[in-house]
Structure formats: structure tokens, C-alpha cells
Structure 1
Amino acid sequence: MKILVDADACPVVDLTVREANKRQIPIILITDTSHVLNRTDAQIITVEKGSDSADFKLVNLVEKNDLVVTQDYGLAAMVLAKGGRALNQNGMIYSEQNMDTLLFTRHVAKKVRMAGGRTKGPHKRTKEQDEDFLRTLQKILEGNI
């Protein structure tokens, strides 16, 4: 098992790296050239800036039973199709049971925006969201989920 992080604007990179290193699990942070990551505690892969370039690199690297941290529903769907596991930044585990609803919601929101409408952005990140993420991550890494 390895952990791959869709690190473009990911709010839980530090938490994920800390937990991976504590358990000596390989961790790869994938970003594009519009984000600069300088770390010695994780492998960093930087790809050219482009539509979904980091996502496609991540999908090419993921293997069965790997864990991916991402807030991108489309990427999570591709990870699940390859036999990986996916977790969002708030501790929600992506699964076959919730993926259709998540993708449909994303589709509806995109249609609203394309028609000139507005959708609400994310709320300011809370300490509780970090705690929920960390709790779920730890359970996954301990084999309890």
C-alpha cells in the first residue's frame, strides 16, 4: 500500500504525510507546476500545468489497495475503478454506494454554472473537519475500515 495525494490545494497534506511517515507507508504528493511543494518527508511529483494533468498522473500510478486523498469526485471514481481506495479532505470515504450521487451532484452544479447561475463555494475549513479526516485516515491505516 502507498498513499497518493492530489496535492493541488489539498488542506490535509501535512496530516496525511505525518500519519504515513509514522507508519512508514510510502507517500506521493502529486501537483502541477502552478503549485510549489518543497518537502523532504514525502515523494513529490510535479506535472505540467494542464486540465487534469495531475489527476491523470495519479490514476496512472494508483494500484489496487492504494489510498488516494482527493476532493475530486471524478478522480475518486477512477481510483475506485482501479481497485484503490479514496478519501476526501473531510474524512468521507468514497465508495461505489455514494459515487453516483456525488457525480450527479457535480454534474447539476456544473449545469447551473454554465447557465450563468452561481453555486456556493466551500465554507472556511474548521478544526473539526481536520479531526474527522484524521480519525478516518487513522482507522483506514490501522485496518479498521
Structure 2
Amino acid sequence: MKIFIDSDGCPVVHLAIEMGKSYNLDVIVVKNYCHEIYDEYASIVTVDKSPDSADFYIANRAEKGDIIITQDYGLAALALAKNAFCINQNGLIIDSKNIEQLLEQRYINKELRKNHRYYTKFKKRTSQWDIQFKKSLKRLIEANFPSQINCNN
């Protein structure tokens, strides 16, 4: 099992690497060449900056049982089709029960922005979101991969 991180704009890259390391999991951070990310534990993959390059890289390499960390619901849908697990930066576990609604909301928001009727305003990230992300990722790993649990976690 591997953890893939769609790192472009992802505020939890280092938290995810830390969690992956604590469970002795392979962590692959996929970024475009405009971002600088370094880590001694994780494998860092650099792709070009064209739209969705990181998403396509991950979608083409994800396998059943891998964990994908992404804010992109399109990538999440592709990963779910491969029986991978998905989680977003706020700790929302994305699955077959909620992906359709998330994709529909993404489409509606895109149309509203296109017609200048709605502008996304992101709330400032709080430490509570980091705590929720870590709890959800831990739950996802431990529920699906009990063999990865050791006394260090």
C-alpha cells in the first residue's frame, strides 16, 4: 500500500508524510515543477505544470488499496474506480457514498463562477482541520490495513 499526495496547493503534505512514515508506508508526493518540496522519507515526483498533470500521474499509478490525498474530486473519482481510498486535506474521507454529490457541487460551483454569480472564498485554515485530517487518515489506515499498526502509533 502506498500513499499518493496530490501536493499542488495541499496544506497537509508534511502531516501526511509524517503519518505515512509512522506506519512505515511508501509515500509518493506528486507536484509540478513550480513547487518546491523536499523530504528525506517520501519519494518526490515532479511533473509539468499543465492542468491535471499531477492528477493523471496519480490516476495512472494508483492501485487497489492505495490512499490518495487530494482536493480534486475528479481525481478522487478516478481513484475510487480503481478501489483506492481517498481523503481530502480537511479529513473528509471520499467514498462511493459521497463522490457523486461532491462532483455535482463542483460542477454547480464552476458554472456559477463562469457566469460571475459566485466566487469561492476560502476560509483561513485552522489547526483544527489539521487535527481532523490526522484523525481521519489514521482511521483510514488502521481500518483497512491492520498489519501496518505497530506500537509507535
TM-score range, shorter chain: over 0.9
User: Residue 9 of structure 2 corresponds to which residue in structure 1?
Assistant: 9
Write the deviation string for residues 88-113 of structure 1: whole angstroms up to 9, x where unpaired.
11111101111111111110111111
Q: Measure, in 2, the Cα distance between the counterparts of 1:144 and 1:59.
A: 20
**Structure 2 residues without counterparts, runs of 5 or longer:** 146-153
User: Residue 79 of structure 2 corresponds to which residue in structure 1?
Assistant: 79
Q: Measure, in 1, the Cα distance between the counterparts of 2:144 and 2:109.
A: 34
1:37 shift after superposition = 1.2
Write the deviation string for residues 38-86 of structure 1: whole angstroms up to 9, x where unpaired.
2212000000110101100010110000000011111101000111010
What TM-score does the superposition give when structure 1 sets the normalisation length? Answer: 0.95
User: Residue 36 of structure 1 corresponds to which residue in structure 2?
Assistant: 36
**Structure 1 residues without counterparts, runs of 5 or longer:** none
Matched length: 145
- 1:120-139 to 2 correspondences below 5 Å: 120-139=120-139
CA RMSD across the alignment:
1.3
- 1:1-145 to 2 correspondences below 5 Å: 1-143=1-143
Q: Matched residues, percent identical?
A: 39
Q: Measure, in 2, the Cα distance between the counterparts of 1:84 and 1:116.
A: 36
| SS of alignment partner, residue 31 of structure 1 | strand
Q: Measure, in 2, the Cα distance between the counterparts of 1:55 and 1:120.
A: 22
Q: Measure, in 2, the Cα distance between the counterparts of 1:9 and 1:113.
A: 20
1:144 shift after superposition = 6.4
What TM-score does the superposition give when structure 2 sets the normalisation length? Answer: 0.91
1:122 shift after superposition = 1.6
| SS of alignment partner, residue 28 of structure 1 | strand
1:117 shift after superposition = 2.2
1:143 shift after superposition = 2.0
Q: Where does structure 1 differ by over 4 angstroms across 4 or more consecutive aligned residues?
A: none
